[in-house]
Amino acid sequence: MPTPSCDILILSNGPGEVTTWVRPVVRALRAMVGEDSAQVRISLVLSPCPNATGNEVAIARRYPEIDRVQGASDFFPFLLWGKTAEQWDWRDRGLVLFLGGDQIYPVIIGKRLGYRTLVYAEWEARWQGWVDKFAVMTPAIQKNSPTKFADKLTVVGDLMAEVGTMESPSFAQTRPIGLLPGSKPAKLAQGVPLVLAIAHHLHQKDASLHFVIPVAPTLDLATLARFADPAQNAAAHYFGHPAAELIDRPGEMPHLLTDKGIRIDLHTDFPAYDLLSQCQICLTTVGANTAELGSLAVPMLVLLPTQQLDAMRAWDGIPGLLVNLPGVGTLFAKAINAQFLKKKRLLAWPNIWAGQEIVPELVGDLDPQAIADQVWHYLEHPEELEEMRDRLRHVRGTPGAAQKIADLAQQLLSEQT
């Protein structure tokens, strides 16, 4: 344990980083340095992210290992002038640990505070002359770095692989089918009626099938239910007007009850690794969900419906600004998305990691009946699901990145006088 007392300042940004990077790292740090915040205090400062949901602070405050959290809205005053919204004090010794955002941030903040800097680099290690240590995901990053900085880079592996070590199976007797339609309106508008329609067709094949939706912490049940109501969701007509109402009574698990009498349980525990790890198969939209499912080795079909082409608006940079402009954003969204879809590319994270399609990606004007038939094929051929699980286990990498990052953090702290 480093002495005397010190601060560890973690910089991060989006929901994926907070849940799948920050969470395992702070657990590893606390296990190493102990629970006494008077000795080692852990603070989290979030920077703006185009994929942020607004609930990152609430999520981070659930982590008992973290002592202080500041949201993204207060980031730039801290970056520019060193002032936090709550006027935090800083100890003489400390470390800035980068787990998401722009890699220039730890350089600036580390210099201001006089702290050592440690950057987790997923794809590229930048500012190597100014950062003290890099924890890099792959040997390729190390190989492509200048020789004079070689001693700064340590290969730790993929933090996403830590997800697979964090589940605690406790779900019930059945192996459900997981439905992950998204968490933002642009995805929910198509995703909810699509999965409702698929569930209907599967229910016709086997009425005993159990369906679950792990509800994102940023999504309240009433909002989710609105997208299951064709009267409030115009996109429902693309999928045959499936409908469901929210049943939320004391003493009973909340669920959607469809107009065909199908029950879809709504699980609000977060993170839902214990539930997801026990699903036979999941139907998910693109995004961070695919990384989490891949790390848990859960078979999946990745769905990107294009019936409503202007719905995809979660782009970074200039495209993100254009598609969200008032009035003309819809036109830009249709044009940008059409151009994007012309070129075949891998969309799901496990496929990107593998460099090939190991989980099916279904893109286009999706037919719920055809997808249900494909799911049914997998359910009738469990050996194919097991093969998919094996390939996911192989590509997700070996756990241990969080512990290696904690080791590097302790090393940098112990070097300070």
* pLDDT score for 22: 95
Using 50, 70 and 90 to split pLDDT, how confident is the model at 342? Answer: low
Using 50, 70 and 90 to split pLDDT, how confident is the model at 333? Answer: low
Q: Return the percentage of the chain with pLDDT > 70, whole number.
A: 87
Mean pLDDT over each residue of the chain, to the nearest integer = 87
Same fold, 6-157+400-414 and 177-395: yes
Q: Domain locations in the chain?
A: 6-157+400-414, 177-395
Nearest to 409 by CA among 1, 122, 18: 1
Q: Return the percentage of the chain with pLDDT > 90, whole number.
A: 63
Q: Is the pTM of this model over 0.95?
A: no
Q: What is the mean pLDDT of residues 125-149?
A: 91
User: Domain 177-395 falls in which CATH fold?
Assistant: Rossmann fold (3.40.50)
Q: Tell me: pLDDT of 282 over 50.
A: yes
Pinpoint the alpha helices (H) of 277-400.
Answer: 288-295, 317-323, 329-342, 349-354, 368-380, 382-395
Q: What is the CATH number of domain 6-157+400-414?
A: 3.40.50.2000
Q: Rounded to whole angstroms, how far apart are CA atoms 328 and 315?
A: 16
Q: Rounded to whole angstroms, how far apart are CA atoms 366 and 198?
A: 10
What residues form DSSP beta bridges with 178? 212, 282
- Residue predicted with more confidence, 187 or 282: 282
Q: Tell me: pLDDT of 104 over 60.
A: yes
What residues form DSSP beta bridges with 282? 178, 300
Q: Rounded to whole angstroms, how far apart are CA atoms 218 and 234?
A: 22
The pLDDT tens digits for 78-91 are: 999 999 999 999 99
Q: Tell me: pLDDT of 316 over 50.
A: no
Do residues 327 and 360 touch, judged by C-beta distance below 8 A? no
